[in-house]
Amino acid sequence: MVMGSCCEDKHCTLSALRDRQGRTLRIVLAINVVIFLFEYVAGLLAHSTSLQADSLDGLGDALVYGFSLYVLFKSERWRSGAALLKGLIMLGFGLAVTAALIGKLLLPVVPLAETMGVAGVLVLIANLACLYLLTRHRNDDLNMESVWLCSRNDIIANVGVLGAAAAVAATGTQWPDILVGAVIAFIFLRSAILVLGKSLRQLRAIPAEGAIS
């Protein structure tokens, strides 16, 4: 009877944790959809590679949070698979930003520094709110750790965009924007390798569903 009560308590505790994670994920998902739409349009208007790259980061995060929400109450194998998908999304966006950078080198356009700066500040505020909400769940499991990692990368990218805006205004050239875009691409690719490695190791360590332990 005591054993059953203990198991029920553990189940209730885990269920409550998943509920809290779900509420947080729904909030940051909504924020990142708005970030993507706002920043992508601002990037087009400003002719800014770094803003467009950062907007893709917001879209990637929205997809990541949505899938994390989907697997929240599923098995450990499902959650590890979610982390694997996040790594693939990061990899895809890293390659997409790299391709955009090559395009800007072939067809150079000086971005609008003022638009970059205003958009960068607003997006930074939104992403700081997301990071604050996710930090309390950082050490819950690999699924939430990878989500937190996405959010942390957003802050780094936002600061880079603001730096690029200031440098573009000071120099009147596109090179600061291209440099920051390249850094964002590197962050995407580095994080992709980290998350893919962890998720693959965890998937290999989990027995196949239905296997006898």
**Residue 10 falls within a domain, yes or no?**
no
**Residue 6 falls within a domain, yes or no?**
no
**Residue 13 falls within a domain, yes or no?**
no
DSSP letters, 80-99, are: HHHHHHHHHHHHHHHHHHHH
C-alpha to C-alpha distance for 187 and 164, rounded to whole angstroms? 16
Residue type, 183: V
**Residue 8 falls within a domain, yes or no?**
no
C-alpha to C-alpha distance for 48 and 197, rounded to whole angstroms? 32
**How high is the pLDDT of residue 91?**
85
Provide the domain count of the chain: 1
**Residue 210 falls within a domain, yes or no?**
no
- Profile the chain (213 residues) by mean pLDDT over runs of 10 residues: 46 63 84 90 89 82 76 68 77 84 84 91 92 81 73 83 92 90 84 81 68 40
What's the CATH code of the domain at 42? Answer: 1.20.1510.10
Q: Which domain holds residue 35?
A: 21-205
C-alpha to C-alpha distance for 28 and 20, rounded to whole angstroms? 13
Phi, psi of 121 (to 5 degrees): -65, -45
C-alpha to C-alpha distance for 129 and 81, rounded to whole angstroms? 27
**How high is the pLDDT of residue 38?**
93
**Residue 33 falls within a domain, yes or no?**
yes
User: First vs last Cα of the chain: how many Å apart?
Assistant: 25
**Residue 114 falls within a domain, yes or no?**
yes
**Residue 138 falls within a domain, yes or no?**
yes
**How high is the pLDDT of residue 54?**
83
Long-range contacts of 206-209 (CB under 8 A, 24+ apart): 206/76, 206/77, 206/80, 209/75, 209/77
Sign of CA dihedral 70, 91, 148, 75: positive
